[in-house]
Each structure stands twice: as C-alpha cells, then as structure tokens.
Structure 1
C-alpha cells in the first residue's frame, strides 16, 4: 500500500531526475569534448550547449532535492519550471518535424550567414566550400580547396541531411517532452501525498 503511493512515487521522481542529471552531464561533456578536440570552434555554440546542460542540471538537482526531502516549495518551483520547459520543447520539436524543404533551406542559410566560425566548422567537417557557390577568391577551411574545382557547395550536403537531422532532433525532443510532462504529473501527485514516516495528522 505504501509502495503504491508515497515510496514508489518518490522513487520514480528521483529516478527521472537522475536521468536528467546524466543527460545534462552528457551535454556538457560533449560540448567540452568538441571544443577540446577542435571539432567545434564557435564559442557561442559551445557556450549555448553548456548553458542548456547547466540549466537542466540545476533543474534536476532542484527536483531531486525536493523529491528526497519532500520539500513543498522546491517541488512547486520544480513543477512550474518543468512545465514551462515542456511547453517550449514540445513547440520546438513540433516545428522541427513540420518544416518543409523550402523552410529547411531558409533556416540553413540564416544559420550559415550568422557566424563565420560556424561556416569554417561546417566547411572543415563536411569538406565543402561556400553555401550556394564556391568563391575561388576567398579562403576555405576544407581540404578540397587545395583543388577548388573539386569542391562542392555546403548547401548540397546540408540539404541532403537537414530533413533527417530535424526529424531526429524533433523525435528526441518529443520523447523528452513527454518525460517532462510525466515529471510534472509525478511532482503534483507526490506533493499531495503524506509521508508515512511523519505525523499522520500533519499535512505535507
């Protein structure tokens, strides 16, 4: 009876937040690894990924502390923040899955024009030059630029994989958004349960 209520809900909520901690540490680790080995030279990209990981880590610690100590205030703030993250992530995931080819191309071009360091990263990784045309009078980080006639434009490669990447990102986002709404439900349920170890007459 107890396992079906307080203890099991507490364990489920704790386990969910431990998963969030591992995911956040993975994000931070991957960003640091990419920067350390020179796979990503853009500071803004690395900082963005690390910021997302740090935010998720903070939220997970709040939820974990609230679950272990059955703290009403921590659980309340955790539930509100997790719901807001769910709304944002669900919206972005649906947008990723709904983009058509033209919208994908526009998004890629905007991202390309936004950062020169990102352009160099893409050119070096994908061995391509320029977005829609190869400028023989400019520099390029790709190995193929030693023989510029052999270079292809980066848009050709990016457009090939853009749909798959967006579907992958959208699918992962949807999966985690459902775990977040599960976390909101578990937190709401857990806040309204009485701790069997405390005074039976006390409201927690």
Structure 2
C-alpha cells in the first residue's frame, strides 16, 4: 500500500467560522490547531503518533467523492461548537499509518499532523466563507466550483499542484479569459453566477450538491 501525500477530511465548523472535531464522541487523542496545521496528541502517551497499538492520529482518506458523500450522510449534533460540516483538502505531515477500519468503504489513514490546503463548503455555509478565509488564509471553495471539480479527479500530490495553478489562474486572469459577472439569468434571481456559468449554484442543472 502506497502512502498518500494528500487526502480529504471532514470537520465541524463553528458559527465563528473555526474548524473543530466533527463528532461528539470523545476520541483517544487531543487535536491541537495552529493556523492551518492540526497536530494529534495521544492520551496514552504513545512514543510516536500515530501509535501502533491503538487509533490515535489525525484521520483522513484519499477519495474526495467518498468524503463528500459521507459529509452529507453523517448527522452532526449542533451545539455551541459545531454548526455545520465542511471538507478539506489536506497534506499529511509526519508519520502516516493505515487505520484499522474503513470509512465509507475505503481505507482510512492516520497521520501525526495535517496541513489544510483548501476548504470546501455547501450553500448553507456561504455566510461563513469570509470568516474561514480570514482565519485560515486558504481557498474556500464552493462544492459547485470548477476548481473543486478539478481537485476531485486529481491524484495525491497532483491535487495540491492543481490547486496552486487553478488559484493562480483565478487571481491572475489572462487577456483571453472570460470572467463571469452580473446576475444569474434565471428569472427573478439576483445571485451572482459561479465562474464559467450564466446561472448561480441554486439554478444550475449540473449542480453536484443536489445530486448527493
């Protein structure tokens, strides 16, 4: 089994736009967030994290489609810390081991730490986009965006390379590039269309979100 160089992870998100542990059950590790990097700490004092004897570490999987499906299927209890769910493109740091279980039918992995490279959100969290952008300084992508579609088909390190080139292309448009502007062409809608379309994410027939 090859060790992944990138992966995908589900997070909870607070009303303030901060990422947090996604599920309520208490894990056997503590996760420390420092900017875009999350470190695992093991309560059983493993000499290395992730440990060989039990399931400590920061969990992630390789497959963007599976993490997207699972983010919609898992019910996340809303409380003062968790308001909704997002997914992130991550780069694992330190030691990487396969997990003992499968997540959504695919192999799960554990690492010492992960660095967040991009955050992907659904339409219900649009109001937190700017806050997350300020907190983490990484691209915050719509699940409908062409950039996320490109990342879904990338493999391992290609995902981060693709993200960098796509982000550069978005922020530095060429002379021949057609920019989307104005309003959605659906009758009565005043929402800005997403890039490359004349319709907003709610009225585009090719909406990924509605198909999940």
Q: Establish whether TM, by shorter chain, passes 0.5.
A: no
Larger relative contact order (Cα-Cα within 8 Å, sequence gap ≥ 6): 1
- Richer in strand (by share): 2
Return the index of the structure with the highest Cα Rg.
Answer: 1
Tell me the TM-score normalised to structure 1 length: 0.23
